[in-house]
């Protein structure tokens, strides 16, 4: 982007952004996706700027992209931004298809089974339709500077975010963000350096080998789901099965793109805007494309999730930092911008310090029941992702956890007491209730969103 200063500013903004500090302390895949996103983008720029590719750079980029795509479904959006940027710059320079584009075709083809997994997972419950304008507003506030309904977390707002004063604080963050965005877009010059000059990359036969491997992987996934997911897979498995030919179709499309690339370049249109070309263009596309994709999908798939697009935050902050550089050349303007930005980010740290990743306090709940659990007691759990923390606090090495075949566990241990745990529901699953129909409840430990009920065999005289 031509400004080391912008990089330093963006790094500072990221390090004191309350949301990023908060997410860095959670054991989730979002921070990892963010790290891989930045690393893969840097590698792409290094490949584009080097006249002759060192073998290690394309290999590292290929690996980083595959890791990112395997980490979170939303990473596909960043990879799509990489592809769009590479094709636009090659188109603009009237060169043959660059080697990095060929590498991206190979990566896209090989990783395409993950799209089938994403389609299958789309059967999971989704949120209700949400407001794109509100989500965009929060994003432009230095990448979710303050907690909101899209935070995916539970927060106790500090006093300065309540009422009319809170609206003023959020409005100030949005206004400064918009000013920096406009200045950044208007002040960046068209790049003069030549990039993407190396045409060496994987040949079509590699793409088709990757396509064959991808088709086999999707077939194995479908067969494995039918065989091992009980009681039955999601209905979307049928749609995932129809995608078996997708990897080979992608390989064929790559071959057609390479064959007719010169003809496609005959168009007079050229993407000369600095917001689309050069290093700055890559950052702009990476920052904007996630919002565009989520907005397009919103009517049918409301997935506004700021955790999911955490990977886009560094790119937005780089764009905003590029706008701060020219403003900082005039001391009084620089101070007028820097002081409120500093105060807003300090407020962000305070706001997210009161935030939890989950409304239920698993640790407190586990420690509340531990003293009452005897060595022979059974603990009935539902096998679900949000029960995982209880498995951490109640390890199987010390506690007798049961996640399925509850009736069999009762038959095999007729004298054992049973602790039934309910999370985010006031009732137990029908299978647990059926298994405990000959038991009586003798104790209940309840906290917000969670409860444990102790059952003993109902021994009749």
Q: What is the mean pLDDT of residues 220-249?
A: 90
pLDDT for residue 301 is more than 70: no
pLDDT for residue 67 is more than 50: yes
Task: Return the exposure string of 171-209: e unless at least 16 CB atoms fall within 10 Å of the residue's CB, then b.
Answer: eebbebbeebbebbbeebeebeeebbbbeebbebebbbe
Q: Which residue has the higher pLDDT, 1 or 47?
A: 47
| Calpha distance 166→169 (Å, rounded) | 5
Residue 424: predicted pLDDT: 84
Residue 51: predicted pLDDT: 62
pLDDT for residue 83 is more than 70: yes
Cβ-Cβ contacts under 8 Å for 286 (sequence gap 6 or more) = 37, 41, 78, 81, 82, 85, 312, 315
Task: Specify the 3-state DSSP secondary structure of 45.
Answer: helix
Between the alpha carbon of residue 370 and those of residues 105, 389, 398, the distances in Å are: 53, 14, 11
Q: Give percent above pLDDT 90 in the chain.
A: 53
Q: In 3D, which of 353, 280, 369 has the Cα closest to residue 321?
A: 280
Residue 385: predicted pLDDT: 76
Cβ atoms of 22 and 16 within 8 Å: the answer is no
Q: How confident is the model at residue 133 (pLDDT cuts 50, 70, 90)?
A: confident
Residue 284: predicted pLDDT: 93
Q: What is the mean pLDDT of residues 235-243?
A: 90
Q: Which residue has the higher pLDDT, 351 or 359?
A: 351
Q: What is the pLDDT of residues 6-32, one digit of tens each?
A: 999 999 999 999 999 988 887 788 889
Identify the structural domains of the chain with CATH numbers, from first to last. 4-356 (no CATH), 362-457 (3.40.190)
């Amino acid at each position: 982007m031509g400004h080391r200063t912008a990089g330093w500013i963006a790094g500072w903004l990221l390090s004191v952004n309350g949301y990023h500090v908060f997410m860095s302390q959670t054991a989730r895949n979002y921070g990892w996706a963010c790290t891989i996103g930045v690393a893969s983008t840097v590698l792409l720029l290094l490949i584009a700027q080097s006249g002759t590719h060192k073998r290690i750079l394309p290999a590292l980029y290929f690996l980083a992209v595959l890791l990112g795509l395997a980490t979170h479904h939303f990473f596909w959006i960043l990879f799509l931004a990489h592809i769009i940027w590479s094709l636009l710059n090659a188109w603009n320079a009237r060169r043959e298809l660059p080697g990095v584009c060929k590498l991206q075709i190979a990566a896209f083809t090989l990783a395409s089974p993950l799209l089938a997994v994403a389609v299958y997972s789309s059967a999971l419950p989704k949120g209700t339709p949400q407001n794109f304008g509100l989500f965009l507003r929060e994003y432009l506030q230095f990448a979710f500077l303050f907690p909101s309904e899209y935070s995916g977390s539970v927060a106790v707002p500090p006093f300065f975010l309540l009422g009319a004063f809170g609206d003023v604080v959020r409005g100030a963050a949005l206004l400064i963000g918009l000013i920096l965005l406009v200045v950044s877009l208007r002040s960046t010059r068209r790049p003069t350096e030549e990039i993407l000059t190396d045409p060496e990359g994987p040949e079509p036969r590699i793409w088709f080998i990757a396509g064959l491997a991808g088709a086999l992987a999707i077939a194995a996934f479908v067969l494995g789901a039918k065989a091992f997911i009980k009681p039955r897979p999601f209905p979307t498995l049928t749609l995932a099965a129809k995608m078996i030919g997708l990897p080979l179709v992608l390989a064929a499309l790559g071959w057609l793109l390479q064959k007719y690339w010169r003809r496609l370049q005959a168009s007079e249109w050229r993407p000369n805007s600095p917001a689309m070309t050069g290093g700055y263009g890559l950052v702009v596309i990476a920052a904007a494309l996630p919002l565009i994709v989520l907005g397009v999908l919103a009517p049918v798939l409301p997935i506004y999730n700021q955790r999911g697009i955490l990977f886009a935050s560094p790119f937005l902050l780089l764009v905003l930092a590029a706008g701060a550089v020219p403003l900082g050349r005039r001391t009084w303007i620089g101070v007028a911008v820097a002081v409120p930005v500093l105060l807003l980010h300090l407020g962000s740290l305070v706001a997210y310090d009161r935030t939890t990743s989950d409304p239920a306090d698993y640790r407190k709940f586990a420690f509340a029941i531990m003293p009452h659990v005897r060595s022979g007691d059974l603990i009935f759990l539902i096998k679900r992702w949000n029960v995982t923390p209880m498995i951490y606090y109640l390890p199987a090495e010390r506690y007798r956890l049961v996640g399925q075949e509850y009736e069999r566990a009762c038959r095999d241990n007729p004298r054992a007491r049973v602790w039934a745990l309910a999370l985010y529901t006031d009732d137990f699953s029908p299978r647990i209730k059926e298994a405990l129909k000959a038991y009586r409840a003798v104790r209940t430990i309840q906290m917000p969103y969670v409860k444990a009920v102790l059952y003993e065999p109902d021994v009749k005289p």
